[in-house]
Structure 1
């Protein structure tokens, strides 16, 4: 049942990730990103999930077959940098040593909206759901 609820959430909000935040926290709960497993609103849980543990962020794709591993360091309570330390995804444009800066801009319960930037690439926003 939990799987169907998550899939429904993913499908129903993938077109507009903003709609999940109906009553956002008055101040973002940035500690939510210190550890745990997260799903994306844009992908099926078998296509993408992320685990943060002991300062290491690992993003898995293709049911965990490939991954990108980064060391994360919080600069402020809600901003952190991720340094790529390992990549197994074939032809992935991000290389070991590159740094991505991220800012947690909104939270609500287990949902987290993050804005990211790498080098001269345009900023992107995405929403994650913490599942454990």
Structure 2
């Protein structure tokens, strides 16, 4: 079965949103070192701020900018996926930019994706 371009992009948007959620869990685990793992993902936007605690002092401003960008990507991707946006599809160039942001986030939290992921 062949997937059309628009559907493929929505899948990519969903994947990026999920990767942000997983990165927040990893950041939470590394910063808070809880006795029990998170059983569900909530307050993704708030938990993204924990990423700042994972960088050296001299990289804090860059991390703050990255967290802001990741929050934007998460919010916009959610709007697209939940139909709250007039943009029901995102151009490939935007998805590529979002992917770069998510990859930078994953590097900081130590949750890099395998090379053969989507």
Normalised to the residue count of structure 2, the TM-score between the two structures is: 0.29
Whose helix fraction is larger, Structure 1's or Structure 2's?
2
Whose strand fraction is larger, Structure 1's or Structure 2's?
1
Normalised to the residue count of structure 1, the TM-score between the two structures is: 0.27
Q: Which has the higher contact order (CA 8 A, sep 6+)?
A: 2
